[in-house]
Structure 1
């Protein structure tokens, strides 16, 4: 009887030891697995973006949230204009280019890829004191090409119209001219290098007219956005297509060039539905479904 009891006691002890070892191994495996997962999900380093000045509000909002969610990553933004941003991706001096126009055939043929992250209305702006409230696309084209030179011809007070535009290579200029059919024919009193500069110029000149991104115009004092063909420039009218003067906000990458882990994560975030509210709050219209 004593032998039976001793045998059972020995078996019990062995089983307990085995169970303990299994438990420790599992804990070790689980811990290692958790560490591996943390290593994989914790991003670090930098993401460089370069391009459109019109995308400043959108890219700023997206970058701020992404850096909050990923404190080990720094997202930089160089506001150089769409043309320079596209070229920077082409020559490999930035991770993601920013263009406020669709890519051209020669750019896609060179291996560049454009991904639309949002839509933006190009608001036609005049001084806040102007009596003009609405213009057609054709009238806008005639004004910027010099066929109409006085505000009295379109319902305003007499005064020589002063057209304010953007520099060559600007996505806003490219979008405006392609939609209004005024490529290479605009007669400008001032040709400026940023959206903010255009807004300030129109604020300071009662006879000025210019164009600027909807996201930059909202909430600005000293200017007003005209309706175009009776349609106001708003998020809703841009999304439904009823506002005619609009363009895409595009993230530009290079086919065959792999983004860093942090740059890919930022790109995925910016083009996801998780970014929609941020894009809306920045004054543009998100397209992610």
Structure 2
């Protein structure tokens, strides 16, 4: 039996969440007996609170909290055990539902010291995940339906699902669908959660000599305008095109990032696949094949880097995707609603957002939100391009930057801004708050943290450097505000934080395009 002190804050929160319990406790005897499952240990006391995870008792030993998983409860005042017999649905993205979500449920199950049983459903991409306590009692039955991102919102609207999986942001018509069901817009709120990162990758057969491909060429191939490998510098052979099905979030991402900007639609001859594993395996077996899948589904195929308009090559590495410098990077979302849900559904989302979920995310082949480090030496492509590009360039400033960061490490955490302003995007705002909490927690004690601002090449060189510095200062201000709101003071005494600005130096995108300029307006984090 695990017994610990119970904090006042937690007790107040539990009382607010379970007002019905508090009302019941005002009536009659509140004495309960908690017994360990082996029957050898028991504890008697008055039930003070219950939050679904812990009993809080007033005993002869004082006020104690007891893990609900360790005991059974006897007595008229025992609350209904909300951690047993729960049922809820998780609907949406096949890319998330086929591998990532089962991995997250498995990780959550481990935190409960329980067992996970997976039962196949009556149709493809449906299954039931059962969380079973060691005593054999079922804690939760989760209906998992990985039928495409578009199915998440209808299931949330009609209550079939407590959690919606989407490999793209919610769209306006889907917000309207939720609104018609009385559910508020989840965007930029605690109901919209990025749980992992992914990248749409272009894959070919291992023996294909294609060294890189541009976004325009990708659009040409998948729309049917480019049909022979000789048009891409290869042999005179027809191109076989493999694409995700139109209902998948991967297809939506591909359409919005590749096809739409080039005024293209998917070609009639493209073979469509609902299963990304099947698509990848088909390409790996076809010397003339080319396809697109999520980062986790490269399997035996060969990944082709994307060539930007200015000649910069972008490889889908975990660092580039975390820093959102790979042009086909994407976020993976879990959406919830303000409707009452089971404790397991709520705690599963909390687990998915925690650092404890990172190993399960990565084991499933996806990219976690945990920052990744990279030395200056490992960023050679970016530095080389900065020197040879046609944009205005200052060798003394480059020398200053290389000297400054020679012994430093860049984190993948990168803050970006809404187009045309110095306002952080919603996700960057959350990232800044999370980074501030990590600093306060002592994660970077003894380190120097450098917030480094960059801009696009529009405007005068020196003015851009000043703008970059102001943006870095703005990120620091946001971090201070986050700590003040949470802790009542901005105490970064455990870390040495400085601000730098290098303007348009070392672009990560092409300044000739809107998307490239947006990517270049950023604040990086360096540690030494």
TM-score by length of 2: 0.46
Q: How far does residue 186 in structure 1 lie from its aligned partner after superposition? A: 1.1
Q: How far does residue 215 in structure 1 lie from its aligned partner after superposition? A: 1.4
Could you report, residue by residue, the CA deviation over 1:221-268 in whole angstroms, capped at 9, with x for unpaired residues? 2x11111112221211111122111221111222x3122111111111
**SS of corresponding position for 1:157:** coil
Aligned to 1:234: 317
Q: Which has the larger radius of gyration?
A: 1
Q: How far does residue 61 in structure 1 lie from its aligned partner after superposition? A: 1.6
Is 1:192 equivalent to 2:259 in the alignment?
A: no
Aligned to 2:483: none
TM-score by length of 1: 0.81
Distance in 1 between the 2:364 and 2:106 partners?
A: 12
Could you report, residue by residue, the CA deviation over 1:32-90 in whole angstroms, capped at 9, with x for unpaired residues? 96576527998233443122121132212211111122223444422211112332222
Aligned to 2:211: 133
Q: Which has the higher contact order (CA 8 A, sep 6+)?
A: 1
Aligned to 2:224: 146
Distance in 2 between the 1:202 and 1:276 partners?
A: 29
Aligned to 1:249: 332
Aligned to 2:106: 64
Correspondent of 1:29 among 59, 65, 69: 59
Q: How far does residue 157 in structure 1 lie from its aligned partner after superposition? A: 1.8
Could you report, residue by residue, the CA deviation over 1:96-153 in whole angstroms, capped at 9, with x for unpaired residues? 1111111102222333533211111111111122111310111111111122111111
Query: As a proportion of its length, which structure holds more helix?
Result: 1
Distance of aligned partners of 1:148 and 1:184 in 2 relative to their CA distance in 1, 3 Å threshold: closer
Aligned to 1:276: 358
Distance in 1 between the 2:219 and 2:143 partners?
A: 37
- Aligned partners of 2:223 and 2:264 also within 8 Å: no
**SS of corresponding position for 1:54:** helix
Q: How far does residue 154 in structure 1 lie from its aligned partner after superposition? A: 0.9
Q: CA RMSD in A?
A: 2.7
Is 1:43 equivalent to 2:83 in the alignment?
A: yes
Q: How far does residue 274 in structure 1 lie from its aligned partner after superposition? A: 2.2
Distance of aligned partners of 1:93 and 1:132 in 2 relative to their CA distance in 1, 3 Å threshold: same
Distance in 2 between the 1:273 and 1:151 partners?
A: 44
Q: How does 1:199-218 map to 2 (within 5 A)?
A: 199-217=280-298
Q: Which moved more, 1:80-89 or 1:177-186?
A: 177-186
Number of matched residues?
Answer: 262
Distance in 2 between the 1:102 and 1:35 partners?
A: 40
Correspondent of 2:144 among 67, 77, 91: 77
Q: How far does residue 31 in structure 1 lie from its aligned partner after superposition? A: 7.9
Could you report, residue by residue, the CA deviation over 1:182-202 in whole angstroms, capped at 9, with x for unpaired residues? 477110421121212211221
Structure 1's unaligned 5+ residue stretches are 1-23
Distance in 2 between the 1:232 and 1:248 partners?
A: 17
- Aligned partners of 1:67 and 1:73 also within 8 Å: no
- Aligned partners of 2:228 and 2:237 also within 8 Å: yes
